[in-house]
């Protein structure tokens, strides 16, 4: 299990770097920084990478066993990433920022969060792909 956590964390970092670059272009890193009381995009990127590694480790534990092929890694990763869109920006993040439960569950808030859904889906695709490739790589002994 430790190996799945470690590989998942690395896959999460790879996905997090790509998703973080997308967030930087969209100007969203300062929003992430706000979760820890900062307004710095650099702080936001660092917080994002920590979260990405933890979520990737979770993928390794929860869904890593499903990543038995590239296709299955991509599918399970995409589903996992989209589930985190619901858990993260629509639920946990608003609570952490004092907005209250359900504040992001209005139709206008969900519409505004759709670019984030795309980002979470891409993150998940990358996590599932990298996880499968790392787990299936032959390491010389």
pTM reported for the whole predicted model: 0.89
Task: Report, as an integer, the average pLDDT of 103-112.
Answer: 79
Mean pLDDT of the chain: 91
Provide, rounded to the nearest whole percent, the portion of the chain with pLDDT above 90: 72
pLDDT digits (tens, 9 = 90+) for 1-21: 769 999 999 999 999 999 999
- Among residues 52, 102, 101, 108, the alpha carbon closest in space to that of 80 is found at 52
């Amino acid at each position: 299990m430790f190996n799945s956590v470690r590989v998942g964390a690395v896959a999460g970092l790879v996905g997090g770097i790509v998703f973080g670059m997308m967030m930087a272009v969209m100007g969203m890193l300062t929003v992430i920084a706000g979760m820890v009381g900062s307004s710095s995009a650099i702080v936001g990127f660092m917080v994002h990478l920590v979260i990405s590694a933890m979520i990737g480790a979770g993928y390794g534990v929860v869904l890593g066993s499903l990543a038995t092929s590239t296709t299955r890694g991509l599918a399970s990763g995409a589903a996992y990433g989209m589930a985190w869109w619901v858990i993260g920006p629509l639920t946990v993040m608003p609570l952490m920022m004092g907005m209250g439960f359900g504040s992001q569950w209005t139709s206008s808030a969900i519409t505004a969060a759709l670019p984030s859904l795309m980002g979470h889906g891409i993150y998940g695709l990358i996590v599932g792909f990298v996880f499968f490739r790392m787990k299936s790589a032959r390491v010389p002994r």
